[in-house]
Amino acid sequence: MSRRPSLTQRRALRAWSLAALLGMAAVVLTACSAMGTGTGISQVEFTHPLTFPAVLSGDRGPDGTRTYDLTAEAGTTDFGMGGPADTIGLNGSYLGPTLRMTRGERVKVRVRNDLDEMTTLHWHGLHVPARMDGGPHQMIEPGTTWRPRWTVDQPAATLWYHSHPHGETAQQVYRGLAGMLLIDDPEADGAGLPAEYGVDDLPLVVQDKTFVDDGQLVVDPIGHASTGFLGDTIVVNGVVGAFHEVTTEAVRLRLLNASNSRFYNFGLSDGREFQMVASDGGLLPQPLDLDRIQLSPGERAEIVVRFSPGETVALASYPPDLGHSIGTSERFGSGTFDVVQFRAAPSLTASAPVAPELADVPAPDAATATTTRRFGITDTAINGRPMDMGRIDQVVPIDTSEVWEVTNQNPQPHNFHVHDGSFRVLTIDGAAPPPQLAGYKDTVYVAPRSTVRLLVRFTDYADPTWPYMFHCHLLLHEDMGVMGQFVVVRPGDKVVPPPRPHDSHNLGVGQAPVDSATAPAETQAAHTDHSVRSGG
Ligand SMILES: [Cu+2]
């Protein structure tokens, strides 16, 4: 089986670079600040029609299971930056199709790896058994196929998928291994949201890249900032300088921050308000009138924007509010720049108003929690321990509410992502969260020196061997070890730590069922909890 000969070298280089980064942090930060290196966005002309990933709805078999085929492959992609770039993607050369799944259906995905390097595919925001999660333990060797399956049991939401091999996530996602995953739920049909994909229901995979003169991507997972790589060019759905012809009065934007470390504070270029209708895990209780929505890496939001005939307005990003960062936010992705331009037709098709009530989202009740766990985040570790694939950090009883108290102990930004569904934000530094964070979330910003309290509950899929991950979703930090593992157990379960990868050429390979068609445990009894959800 072919393996990438450069893997060890690249890891050695990264280790060296990390040492340099940490050892000379002050110097690096000062230098970055002084030179403004690589953090600003170059303004471009908006001359390319925005394109949308193909929709993959799967094939429904006689037993009702819907099967999706994804193949990770290498190729070249011409971003119009001087020539083709070497990229990787799923069912194409860059990014992957938009997977659409309907609540209640059984699904199976065949993920074939035609790359010459190992990868994984993680379903970010999906409620799935741990061994179907596509985290670092579900490595897919080159030339093999991984076959996860599960039953979709969570409300309508904008999720995504991306590769998640430990230590390699930043470069693989940057090179293209990511895509949208949309959950459809008939219960959400009454929300009055635009729903014609690619017309008035637009997925926007927002990333920042840097190109060299011949059009190749600069692949630099470490970057110049302590938070990781920042590109100088915005790419939306793989398009640089994208515009979209608006034909309807209202357009729904499904915003995904799929960047390595850049924060976006989205708003319209003329400052008009929009309606935020959904966060990471699904619809908000009511639409929120906002003029900004800030997303850290991994977060999503759905917004509805209304247009007037004949106008041109852009979705922009404004300087993010990162809290008590050292110095300015420049090196963490700042500035004001346009992301994608919208050109409204001379006459627009009428759009339905957004319903005043979108979904039943009861207030979270912290009093239901039986345990409080504390997570202290630093540059390279959580609770002082860098990620170890052979160590279980937290053992969580099934179907029990807990408070997870996450503290950023650094003077720099982090965020926090929990696998296996959604949580609720209880407080941020003791105060109630703003309404845009009051719905179902799976990734939340944790400002420097701040504490965010989350209410979590894992309703089913107990498995004392296969862990889920919690981690910072700034991809450099994740790769560097700002990640931990938890198992969900039933009373009396004996926890068996997963195998620790022991050789450099076989990074992260566990006992994951690669190339196995064996049917694992599927949906167990569904539980319903009205304040916290990990699905059912
Ligand atoms: Cu971080």
Question: What share of the chain has pLDDT > 90, as a percent?
Answer: 79
Q: Is the pLDDT of residue 536 over 80?
A: no
Distance from residue 179's CA to the centre of ligand 1 (Å): 22
Do residues 500 and 513 make contact, with C-beta atoms less than 8 angstroms apart? no
Q: How far apart are CA 315 and CA 534, in angstroms?
A: 32
Distance from residue 378's CA to the centre of ligand 1 (Å): 7
Distance from residue 482's CA to the centre of ligand 1 (Å): 7
Distance from residue 45's CA to the centre of ligand 1 (Å): 33
The pLDDT score that the predictor gives to residue 42 is: 87
Distance from residue 253's CA to the centre of ligand 1 (Å): 27
Distance from residue 446's CA to the centre of ligand 1 (Å): 9
E-assigned strands of 79-121?
A: 84-90, 98-102, 106-113
Distance from residue 256's CA to the centre of ligand 1 (Å): 18
Distance from residue 169's CA to the centre of ligand 1 (Å): 14
Distance from residue 477's CA to the centre of ligand 1 (Å): 5
Distance from residue 467's CA to the centre of ligand 1 (Å): 20
Distance from residue 344's CA to the centre of ligand 1 (Å): 39
Q: What is the pLDDT of residues 308-359, one digit of tens each?
A: 999 999 999 999 999 876 554 555 667 899 999 999 999 999 999 999 999 9
Distance from residue 502's CA to the centre of ligand 1 (Å): 26
Cα dihedral sign, 477-236-436-40: positive
Distance from residue 466's CA to the centre of ligand 1 (Å): 24
Q: Is the pLDDT of residue 205 over 70?
A: yes
User: In Å, how far from its chain's centre is CA 536?
Assistant: 21
Task: Provide the pLDDT confidence category of residue 500 given band limits of 50, 70 and 90.
Answer: confident
Distance from residue 359's CA to the centre of ligand 1 (Å): 32
Cα dihedral sign, 316-318-320-326: positive
Q: What is the pLDDT of residues 89-146, one digit of tens each?
A: 999 999 999 999 999 999 999 999 999 999 999 999 999 999 999 999 999 999 999 9
Higher-confidence position of 22 and 517: 22
Question: 52 is written with which tokens?
Answer: 């949308």
Task: Provide the pLDDT confidence category of residue 522 given band limits of 50, 70 and 90.
Answer: very low
Distance from residue 207's CA to the centre of ligand 1 (Å): 17
Task: Provide the pLDDT confidence category of residue 365 given band limits of 50, 70 and 90.
Answer: very high
Distance from residue 74's CA to the centre of ligand 1 (Å): 29
Distance from residue 149's CA to the centre of ligand 1 (Å): 30
Distance from residue 530's CA to the centre of ligand 1 (Å): 30
Q: Poorest-confidence range of 33-37, 142-146, 250-254, 401-405?
A: 33-37
Distance from residue 381's CA to the centre of ligand 1 (Å): 9
Do residues 176 and 77 make contact, with C-beta atoms less than 8 angstroms apart? yes
Distance from residue 474's CA to the centre of ligand 1 (Å): 5
Q: Is the pLDDT of residue 233 over 90?
A: yes
Task: Provide the pLDDT confidence category of residue 532 given band limits of 50, 70 and 90.
Answer: low
Distance from residue 478's CA to the centre of ligand 1 (Å): 7
Distance from residue 488's CA to the centre of ligand 1 (Å): 24
Q: How far apart are CA 301 and CA 535, in angstroms?
A: 19
| Contacts (Cβ under 8 Å, ≥6 apart) of 73 | 88, 89, 90, 91, 92, 93, 114, 115
Distance from residue 106's CA to the centre of ligand 1 (Å): 34
In one-letter notation, the amino acid at residue 278 is A
Q: What CA–CA distances, in Å, run from 73 to 117, 219, 220, 317? A: 10, 17, 20, 32
In one-letter notation, the amino acid at residue 530 is H
Q: How far apart are CA 312 and CA 40, in angstroms?
A: 24
E-assigned strands of 165-319?
A: 178-184, 201-209, 233-236, 239-240, 242-248, 250-257, 264-268, 274-279, 282-290, 293-295, 300-306, 312-318
Strand partners, 178: 162
Average pLDDT, integer, range 372-386:
97
Q: Is the pLDDT of residue 168 over 90?
A: yes
Task: Provide the pLDDT confidence category of residue 225 given band limits of 50, 70 and 90.
Answer: confident
Do residues 234 and 210 make contact, with C-beta atoms less than 8 angstroms apart? no
Alpha helices in 342-501 (DSSP H): 475-480
Say if strands 424-428 and 402-408 run parallel, antiparallel, or are unpaired: unpaired
Q: Comparing C-alpha atoms, which of 372, 478, 378 is closest to residue 426?
A: 372
Distance from residue 481's CA to the centre of ligand 1 (Å): 9
Distance from residue 448's CA to the centre of ligand 1 (Å): 10
In one-letter notation, the amino acid at residue 321 is D
SS (H, E, C) 246-284: EEECEEEEEEEECCCCCCEEEEECCCCCEEEEEECCEEE
Distance from residue 129's CA to the centre of ligand 1 (Å): 26
Average per-residue pLDDT for the chain: 87
Distance from residue 21's CA to the centre of ligand 1 (Å): 14
Distance from residue 189's CA to the centre of ligand 1 (Å): 36
Do residues 352 and 190 make contact, with C-beta atoms less than 8 angstroms apart? no
Q: Comparing C-alpha atoms, which of 128, 130, 185 is closest to residue 523?
A: 128
Q: How far apart are CA 474 and CA 205, in angstroms?
A: 16
Distance from residue 473's CA to the centre of ligand 1 (Å): 6
Residue 369, SS3?
coil
Q: How far apart are CA 219 and CA 534, in angstroms?
A: 35
Distance from residue 334's CA to the centre of ligand 1 (Å): 17
Q: What is the pLDDT of residues 32-81, one digit of tens each?
A: 332 333 458 988 999 999 999 999 999 999 999 999 999 999 999 999 99
Distance from residue 415's CA to the centre of ligand 1 (Å): 6
Q: Is the pLDDT of residue 515 over 70?
A: no
Predicted TM-score (pTM) of the model is: 0.88
